[in-house]
Structure 1
Amino acid sequence: MSPPPSPDAASAARKLFLIGLLIGIAGAVLFSTKAIVAKLIYRYDVDAVTLIAFRMMFSLPFFIVIGIWKSRNATSLSGKEKWQIVLLGLIGYYLSSFLDFLGLQYISAGLERLILFLTPSFVLLISVFLMKKKISVIEWAALGTSYLGTILVFMHDVRIGGNGVVLGSVLVLCSAVSYAIYLVGTGELVRRVGALRLVAYAMCVSSVACIGQFFLLRPTSMLIQPMAVYNLSMINAFFCTVLPVFLTMIAVDRIGAATASQAGMIGPVSTLFLAAWILGEPITGIQLAGTALVLCGIYLLSKKRA
């Protein structure tokens, strides 16, 4: 029987855990902030195609560097793996991001974050119906609680925003489903390729698709924008895209995936209050109640996964 850890060792381990937890929280908050930044960019008469193109133009160099760095001394990819990465990059980051930013034109940042936060439940449902995974009573309860919270906020926003809220919510919902499909599809591939390397490659594919889409659908004159759009796009690219990916990977390495996913629960809460502070979006009792229900549901799912 091994002796218990010394007080100094236990204190050091606790400190490392808290640092990892803070890193995970920082990553979740920064990633959630992309909805706030997108809302600010939309004030300059920029559409979703242009917004996402600028985001990927500024983030692509970082992911190219990451991809080259992680490919050093790594095993070469097979032809099948390359095609899988292309497909996953198009589904998980191109399609998901485009639908998300498109939906943000019609709904509040708080509602957008709540809908996207249902992604783990969609992963579970896909596993149930496509992979015949059995689902427990507590998991069904978690799903019901999360969906009830989102429906509560959705009904509140519909009364205020009308049909635009319905369209925006459907688009963001499709974004969440698209990203859930990506997560399910990366299950085996991430073990062979590596998490950070896979993300870098998939983001490169997505960036090329988003930039190509812009040049197909928009005139090059749309590249000329006010300086504020460039500044906000660089913030969106680095602080809301590249940096959160690194922080989340570091957090997973330090505290484990289950704890890191629980740290990510701060995302919709931070978006709600940041939207009120920066965008002037109101915070109502219904929104707080809906957010609490979603967080409770996802917490139950994360505990079950753990």
Structure 2
Amino acid sequence: MKTSSRYWIGAFLVFLAAFCFACKGILIKLAYQYQIDSISLLTLRMLFALPFYIVILVNLNRKQSPAKLTSRQWAALAIFGITGYYFASFFNFLGLIYITASLERILLFVYPTFVLLMNAMGFGLRVTKLQIVALILTYAGILLAFWGNIETSAQNNVVLGAFWVILSGLVYAVYLVGSDRMIPLIGSLRYTCYAMIAATVPTVLHCAVQNGLHLGGYPMPVYALGLGMGIFVTVIPTFMIAEGIKRVGSGNASIIGSIGPIFTIFLSTTILHETISIEQIIGTLLVLAGVFMIGWKGNKQVTPSVTN
């Protein structure tokens, strides 16, 4: 395959993955209309996705040699998976109880700056002047979008919702930084499968403790939305983004993936009929500019993945 064709196919896969990820908040908001709690909805998402990851992992292990990790590395893999796909996802689901899907997506995009700061403080990676400007732009955009929505009637509790979503971004950044050290050992696809399987365990346990794992009795649209989240917002974009990164590189993927908030704003206004303020539009553009600048510098850790 020609280099140009390989690049454009990869870019298209990342673009489609960004669209799928952007749909997550929309589907969650639609499901919340049926009075389902956060952990039950997250459990449905994980259980619907789980069989696909198991089948893909079994197939990978048949074609390739089994992963050879030490017990300490297996433990780290499980911890990273639980961090990225249980804690980060649950905090994100909680945040969407209180704020709109469009604001959630803007706030969640703070995670590339967290990754940049963690690598600078924890691993001594130098932060350039351009990246400092990118950080200022990103946080200015988030502050503007937040301030423009603080009095909006569509938000139940914008401060609490923003807290959960930003905490989700912080936890997800921890997952990404740790993943960067694990993926070279077993590959991105296999790592994702193990991480998702590991995260399913505490999710199911949490649901069992909170409500006895009673997942029946909801209206059919809840299960349809849960299935949609499991397949179209989790499984499919997971592997599209992995293949896309392979073809275009993580820096380019992070730039292309930064279109996600634009998709969410469009979907939230057309499907959920959310009102978008001028501050939110300007804030979104500032956040995207900051993320674009970080990605343009080729910081390999800032990689779009299954964003919760």
TM-score grouping bracket, smaller chain normalisation: over 0.9
The aligned counterpart of 2:55 is 65
Query: In the TM superposition, what is the alpha-carbon distance from 1:222 to its structure 2 partner?
Result: 4.1
Greater share of helix: 1
Q: Which secondary structure does the structure 2 equivalent of 1:160 belong to?
A: coil
**236, 247, 256: which one pairs with 1:243?**
236
Mapped to 2, the partners of 1:236 and 1:175 lie a distance apart of 18
The aligned counterpart of 2:29 is 39
The aligned counterpart of 2:277 is 284
Mapped to 1, the partners of 2:100 and 2:167 lie a distance apart of 16
Bigger mean CA deviation after superposition, 41-50 or 214-223: 214-223
* Cα offsets for 1:30-79 (capped at 9, x unmatched): 01211100000000001101110100110010111122222233243221
The aligned counterpart of 1:54 is 44
Bigger mean CA deviation after superposition, 80-89 or 156-165: 156-165
Mapped to 2, the partners of 1:134 and 1:33 lie a distance apart of 35
Contact kept? 2:252, 2:298, Cα under 8 Å = no
Q: Which secondary structure does the structure 2 equivalent of 1:247 belong to?
A: helix
Query: In the TM superposition, what is the alpha-carbon distance from 1:128 to its structure 2 partner?
Result: 1.9
| Equivalent AA in structure 2 for residue 256 of structure 1 | G
Mapped to 1, the partners of 2:8 and 2:195 lie a distance apart of 30
Alpha carbon RMSD of aligned pairs, Å? 1.5
* Cα offsets for 1:111-160 (capped at 9, x unmatched): 11111111111001111222233211111110010111111110111121
Mapped to 2, the partners of 1:199 and 1:222 lie a distance apart of 26
| Equivalent AA in structure 2 for residue 285 of structure 1 | I
Q: Which secondary structure does the structure 1 equivalent of 2:150 belong to?
A: helix
Mapped to 1, the partners of 2:29 and 2:109 lie a distance apart of 18
| Equivalent AA in structure 2 for residue 25 of structure 1 | F
Mapped to 1, the partners of 2:119 and 2:214 lie a distance apart of 45
Say whether 1:174 aligns with 2:164: no
| Equivalent AA in structure 2 for residue 135 of structure 1 | V
The aligned counterpart of 2:89 is 97
* Cα offsets for 1:5-40 (capped at 9, x unmatched): xxxx9xx54333222211110001101211100000
Query: In the TM superposition, what is the alpha-carbon distance from 1:231 to its structure 2 partner?
Result: 0.5
The aligned counterpart of 2:176 is 183
Say whether 1:154 aligns with 2:142: no
The aligned counterpart of 1:27 is 17
Identity %: 35
Runs of at least 4 residues of structure 1 off by over 6 A? none
Matches within 5 A, 1:1-306: 12-72=2-62, 73-74=64-65, 75-161=67-153, 164-305=157-298
Mapped to 1, the partners of 2:55 and 2:273 lie a distance apart of 38
Mapped to 2, the partners of 1:179 and 1:142 lie a distance apart of 19
Over alpha carbons, which structure has the higher Rg? Answer: 1
Superposition TM-score, scaled by structure 1 size: 0.93
Mapped to 1, the partners of 2:266 and 2:118 lie a distance apart of 32
Mapped to 1, the partners of 2:175 and 2:5 lie a distance apart of 34
Query: In the TM superposition, what is the alpha-carbon distance from 1:290 to its structure 2 partner?
Result: 0.7
Superposition TM-score, scaled by structure 2 size: 0.92
| Equivalent AA in structure 2 for residue 293 of structure 1 | L
Mapped to 2, the partners of 1:79 and 1:222 lie a distance apart of 34
Structure 2 portions without partners, runs of 5+: 300-308
Structure 1 portions without partners, runs of 5+: 1-8
Contact kept? 2:97, 2:156, Cα under 8 Å = no
Query: In the TM superposition, what is the alpha-carbon distance from 1:180 to its structure 2 partner?
Result: 0.3
